[in-house]
Chains A and B, each alone.
Chain A
Amino acid sequence: MKSLWKISRRYIWSAIVITVFVININMLVFAGGMLKLAGSDSGQEGDISRSLMEEINSSLRQEDGVWKLTDEGLQELEESSFVWAMLLDEHGTIAWSYELPEELNRHYSIADVSVFSRWYLADYPVRTWRKGDRLMVYGMGKGDKVRINVIYRLALMEKLPEIVKYFVLLNLLLLFALALFFAYRFYRSIRPIAQGIDSLAAKQPARVPQKGLTAELAVRLNEASRHLQEQDGKLAKRDMARTEWIAGVSHDIRTPLTLITGYADELAANPALGEEERKKAGQIQEAALVIGQLIADLNLTSKLEYQTQPLRMTSFFPAGLLRECVAEYYNQGIGDSYEIEVEIAAETEQIQCCGDTGLLLRAFRNLIGNSIRHNPDGCVVNVRLSAWEDGVEYLFTDSGLGIPERVVRVLREEEEKSAVGGGNAAWRKEDGKPEACEQNPIHVMGLRLAKQIVKAHGWMFEFERRESGTYDVRIAVCNHDSTSVSSEISG
């Protein structure tokens, strides 16, 4: 309805602007005409004007009982639109004439004069002008001019301003009604198109009726929708194939990795081998376990990226979850050179959120594990939990190096490219090589996974810059329900 009002408003404004424009043009033309006419007498054209008749009248003089027109008067008469002229004396007899047509009488009664002075004389339009006791009659060519005599009632003329007022008001109402009508018609015709576009935006197929004013548009929209659906289908198929492929490879690699781990463990415990060999066997075992973890991460990151990882949402205490994660680390043994500090604000103890605790524990493990792995000489990992809006925020910091800027840059670029449909190739450069292959390798898997897990919950994952130029991680967990944004026009 909001859109209907918008369209109506626009239509009404357009109607008002057009009306004002047309009225102005008319007024200009009318004023121009009036000005032109004002230059002449009685609003008549120059060649039959009052002044011309006066001048001719004054040029007609009686000399020795005979009426004569001066040469100037004759010239003016010839140049005018009058084709003939006559002077009637007080008895109605012609005292003087100029080019008088044969068919005309030579004598006129008062009744004749009364009639032709208002209408025509033998179909000649005429004008009359008093010359003393006489009457000068000027005749124009037959069919040359039209003569109109109008008489209005005075009462009507007195009411004219009011009539004009109502007339204008009615016209405005009509204008308004017509504008609304056309606006509604337009709104109705584009509504299916708008709904179709909404469907496209929501990745739903658009089926717009192909009729009416927008039939051609509807055909194109339906076609575009069909193409998009086909493309979406192909993309989903490709993504699914890729995820399944990674899951398959991950599965196939695990069996040989188990053999490597098992045999390396056996060798590491074999007293018949030297110290060096046993140490190397231990390293092989550790490396195999790292590969195993990387494969698991790769599998999960691919599923999160293509949204095939279901979230098992349960209610949890963010403070309790953090303690569980840190306790796990201590119980597994983290080495004497490491310490994990936990600072939990008292007010967060009662806050409950909803999330996949298994995945969240994995994200926290990755973040704490990163601090431990990248600070081989030891460090203090600090995790702070504080209240934030109607949820909580975790801040993961450490006394060590922090997250390097280029790691943060790679993850941010990934996010930007992924937002414009770059997919999981976002971390690759234009030449197709991953950035990690340039200079020193960048290991972003653990961080990426943590970020993906947090983002999959719709929460905030941010890098906070330290003074040293490296970064810490802040996770803001909100309890908001996501609200669907409905399109305005489809309402």
Chain B
Amino acid sequence: MNIYNCKILLVDDNRELAEMTADILRKSGYETVVTAYSCLEGMEAFRREKPELAILDIMLPDGDGFTLFRRMREVSALPILFLSARDEDNDRLFGLGLGADDYVTKPFLPQELVLRVNAILKRSYFRNQEGARASGVIELSGRRISLENATVEYQGETTALTAKELLLLKKLYANRGNVVTFDAICQAVWNDSYYGYENSLMVHIRHLREKIEEDPSHPKWILTARGIGYRLAKES
């Protein structure tokens, strides 16, 4: 089973919008997208179809999405995403505070919605697979880095990564392709703010580069975003 086999329930009182959103999800690969247009219909569909994910509008003709959320969560722990035209911080915080997995405001980029749905489903049902991947192996210019064993293998030689180096690399790998700020790295590695760790961070990055880069002076994988943070380059 993969994420595209997951059944998605979409509840929105605007039929046209509901159909369009369902189409977007179908075209992105989701095989079963069920639509409903009110709280009542939504609850019936929820009981009948037993979806893996619910996407709820907040303003519905016979109630609100928050109430529907509570009623669904009473019987199931399924992931729920709010899709609303209400952009108030209060609504967003309230929704997330209830335990929603995400909150997307209209208008949204179709691609963004699909990515968020993918992420929720992976997180909820395929965590082990993802985890296995995260603790798996990275190949960087012939170097085989095992996140599980904290080792770097190159031309038959194995070099060990220190605990801090491993945490650092995991953080960069989790955000591969994106700049991770010094602050976020320090939070992940030392569980503290950046202040006081400026030099330590630089030293650890240098050591990590020495272990995984071909030419540590001209790094190809761990790139510096000057003044901001570091980025683990994607495979070309």
Q: Do the two shown chains form a genuine complex with each other? A: yes
- Mark contacts of B186-208 with chain A using CB atoms, 8 A cut-off: 1 yes-contact digit, 0 otherwise: 00000001111010000000000
Cβ–Cβ contact A323 & B17, under 8 A: no
Most buried by A among B17, B107, B195: B107
Partner of B87, one of A260, A265, A296: A296
A32 at the interface (CB under 8 A from B): no
Q: Does A262 belong to the interface (CB within 8 Å)?
A: yes
Question: What residue in chain B is nearest A268 (Cβ atoms)?
Answer: B110
CB neighbours (8 Å) of A265 from chain B are: 24, 109-111
Is A292 among interface residues, defined by CB-CB distance under 8 A?
Answer: yes
Instruction: Report the separation of the CA atoms of residues A320 and B228 in the bound assembly, to the nearest whole angstrom.
Output: 9
Q: Per-residue CB proximity of A393-412 to B under 8 Å, as 1/0? A: 00000000000000000000
CB distance from B25 to the nearest CB of A (A): 11
In the complex, the answer to whether B88 meets A323 with C-beta atoms within 8 Å is no
Proximity string of chain B (59-100) to chain A, C-beta cutoff 8 Å, 1 when within and 0 when not: 100000000000000000000000001111110000000000
Any B CB within 8 A of the CB of A41: no
Given contacts A296-B87, A324-B183, contact A261 B228 (CB under 8 A): no
Please choose the segment from B2-10, B32-40, B138-146, B174-182 that sits at the chain A interface, where 4 or more of its residues have CB less than 8 A away: B174-182
Number of A-B contacts (CB under 8 A): 106
Whole-angstrom distance from the CB of A284 to the nearest CB of chain B? 12
| Segment among A204-212, A325-333, A438-446 that sits at the interface with chain B | A325-333
User: At the interface, is chain A mostly helix, strand, loop or mixed?
Assistant: helix
Please, how many residues of chain A have a CB less than 8 angstroms from a CB on the other chain? 39
Chain A residue nearest to B14 in the complex (CB):
A255
In whole Å, how far is A26's beta carbon from the nearest beta carbon of chain B?
79
* CB of B20 within 8 Å of the partner chain: yes
A346 to B197, CA, bound (A): 12
Which residues in chain A, 308-336, are within 8 Å of chain B measured between CB atoms?
Answer: 310, 312, 317, 319-320, 323-324, 326-327, 330-331
Bound Cα distance from A254 to B83, whole angstroms = 11
CA gap between A247 and B24 in the complex, in Å: 28
Residues of the B chain whose Cβ atoms lie less than 8 Å from the Cβ of A323: 181-183, 227-229
Chain B residues closer than 8 Å to A319, beta-carbon distance: 183, 194
B235 within 8 A of A: no
Other-chain contact of A320, B90, B108, B193 (Cβ < 8 Å): B193
User: A327 near B194 (CB under 8 angstroms)?
Assistant: no
B218: Cβ under 8 A from any A Cβ:
no
Q: Which residue of the partner chain, among B17, B59, B85, B179, contacts A327 with CB atoms under 8 Å?
A: B179
B108 touches A261 (CB 8 A): yes
Chain A 255-290 interface residues, beta-carbon cutoff 8 Å to B: 255, 257-263, 265-266, 288-289
Q: Which of A255, A261, A327 contacts B229 (CB 8 A)?
A: A327
A311 CB to closest chain B CB, in angstroms?
Answer: 10
Given contacts A320-B194, A324-B183, A342-B228, contact A312 B109 (CB under 8 A): no
Does B225 have its Cβ within 8 Å of any Cβ on chain A? Answer: yes
Closest CB in chain B relative to A293 CB, distance in Å: 9
Chain A, Cβ-Cβ closest to B21: A262
A357 to B80, CA, bound (A): 26
Q: Are A254 and B106 in contact (CB under 8 A)?
A: yes
CB atoms of B20 and A349 under 8 A apart: no
In the assembled complex, B44 has its CB within 8 A of some CB on chain A: no
Q: Of residues 216 to 236 in B, which have CB atoms within 8 Å of A's CB atoms? A: 225-229
Interface status of A350 (Cβ within 8 A of chain B): yes
Given the contacts A259-B20, A266-B23, A327 and B226 also touching, CB distance less than 8 Å: no
The reply to whether B228 and A251 contact each other, CB–CB distance below 8 Å, is no
Min distance, Cβ B105 to any Cβ of chain A, angstroms: 7
**Min CB–CB distance B202 → chain A (angstroms):** 13
Q: B17 near A258 (CB under 8 angstroms)?
A: yes
Contact B227 A344 (CB under 8 A): yes
User: Would you call A343 an interface residue if the criterion is a C-beta within 8 Å of the partner chain's C-beta atoms?
Assistant: yes
Task: Decide yes or no whether B16 CB sits under 8 A from chain A.
Answer: yes
A375 lies within 8 A of chain B by Cβ: no
Residue of B nearest to A264 (CB): B110
Contacts of A331 in B (CB 8 A): 178-179
Are the CB atoms of B105 and A254 closer together than 8 Å?
yes
A350-375 CB contact bits vs B (8 Å, 1 = yes)?
A: 10000000100000000000000000
A299 touches B (CB below 8 Å): yes
Within the complex, what minimum Cβ distance (angstroms) separates B231 from chain A? 8
CA A336 to CA B138, docked complex, whole Å: 28
Q: How far is A324 from B105 in the complex, measured between Cα atoms in Å?
A: 22
Residues of chain A contacted by B227 (CB below 8 angstroms) = 323, 326, 341-344
What are the 9 A-B residue pairs with the smallest beta carbon separation, nearest first?
A342-B227, A254-B85, A320-B183, A257-B107, A258-B106, A323-B181, A258-B107, A254-B106, A331-B178
List 6 contacting pairs A-B, 8 Å CB cutoff, sorted by A: A255-B85, A289-B109, A312-B89, A317-B183, A330-B178, A341-B226
